[in-house]
Amino acid sequence: MTYTLNTITLEPLSKKKPKNAVILCHGYGGDGKDISILAGYWRTYLPDTIFICPDAPERCAASPTGYQWFDLLDQSPDQILSKSLVAESKLNELIDEVLKKNNLISNQVIIGGFSQGCMLTLQTGIKRKDKINSIIGYSGKIINAEHLSKNLNSRPNILLMHGEQDQVVTVDAFLEAKDFFGKNNYAIESKLFKDCEHRIPTEGSSLGLQFIKKNFK
């Protein structure tokens, strides 16, 4: 099955029609293959789930072998927001394709991402009017709180995770996101990992799996 974006697709291990879907978005300079490693681990325990791991639509300005959802180099906050809205439309198109091609409804879809992929999934998932099931965010942040606060169109469950020693997206971003969603009365779970830098630790993948299993019941 093909989609508008180039994807790594892991079909259900059960060989049956998918009961639900997980879409995972990689970080800045990565690709779908990178984050499909996480999907491959989760897939073992979710045999009726299809996993979609897209490549972002643009080649990365800082790492030409990888991809970016939007450019981060020498960009003002307004420029970053503007470019993120283009990426948001691409991710929304992919979500709609996944729903249609697999005969699923929005509550049967969880989206997640790492770093820039986390930023995009938070913005996209919250703004969608048809509520997706949940969002899992690793090592990311809210792109533009003012913009998002004006577009709180749905209330998916949210799990945010972050490394305490992250120097790429600092822990302040995690705390700000946690505070934003708390103040706006979202059902949010969070985990801060000690002695962890900008990565997904083993505990983080396990917590993500538990969160998916709980919300897909």
Q: Catalytic residue positions?
A: 115, 166, 198
Determine the angle formed by the axes of helices 77-101 and 116-127, rounding to 10 degrees: 70
- 3-state DSSP assignment of residue 45: coil
Place of tokens 């996480």: 38
Place of tokens 């949010």: 188
- Are the beta carbons of 52 and 140 closer than 8 angstroms? no
Per-residue b or e along 165-202, where b marks 16 or more CB atoms closer than 10 Å to that residue's CB: ebeebbeebbeebbebbeeeebebbbbebeebebebbe
- Are the beta carbons of 131 and 109 closer than 8 angstroms? no
Please name the residues in contact with 53: beta carbons below 8 A apart, sequence gap of 6 or more: 7, 8, 9, 10, 23, 24, 25, 26, 32, 33, 35, 36, 39
- Are the beta carbons of 188 and 122 closer than 8 angstroms? no
Instruction: Give dist(CA 10, CA 38) in Å, integer.
Output: 11
93 C-beta neighbours (distance < 10 Å), count: 13
